[in-house]
Amino acid sequence: AISHHKCELRDLKKGPIKINGIGLQPDGRMFVPRPFTRRTQHLLHLVLEKGRWELLLQVQGRMALFRQLTDVRNPNRTEKHLLEQYAALQRILRKEKMRAREQKKRVRQSGRPEYLHVSRSPIAC
């Protein structure tokens, strides 16, 4: 059943509107609202600078939405900065993954049980 008291009528001719957190321009283009972008930038900063790796999945989910709705070929300055920060995070994750693989390979070659080796990687493989 439709809850008519929750329904709203919005006019796109008057300007952009937000539906479930996603912006819609009068010409039909979708966009990510600035507060969402700023929060994503803040979370990325916490992961990169403060080492808050528990926020990694949240950052990746937000960036998936951001990249779906943003024209990454022609970003504005804020979007470009966010994409550069995310690329830096991706480089760190690739390096850590390679390092963890190498360590796992060395453990297998040493013949000792894996539970005796402790990984210092901030991410799990």
pLDDT in tens, 16-57: 999 888 999 999 889 999 999 999 999 999 999 999 999 999
At 50, the amino acid letter reads K
- pLDDT for res 71: 87
- pLDDT for res 108: 80
The arrangement of strands across the sheet holding 30-31 comes to: 17-19, 22-24, 30-31
53 burial via Cβ count (<10 Å: 0-12, 13-18, 19+): middle
Contact 80/86 with Cβ under 8 angstroms? no
- pLDDT for res 112: 66
- pTM here? 0.74
Distance of alpha carbon 24 from alpha carbon 19, whole angstroms? 8
**pLDDT interval class at 62 (50, 70, 90):** very high
- pLDDT for res 6: 86
**In this structure, what token pair is assigned to residue 74?**
């022609």
Q: Where in the chain are the domains?
A: 34-111
Find the mean pLDDT for residues 102-107. Answer: 84
- pLDDT for res 117: 56
Report how far apart, in Å, the C-alpha atoms of 70 and of each of 7, 50, 64, 66, 74 are: 28, 27, 10, 6, 9
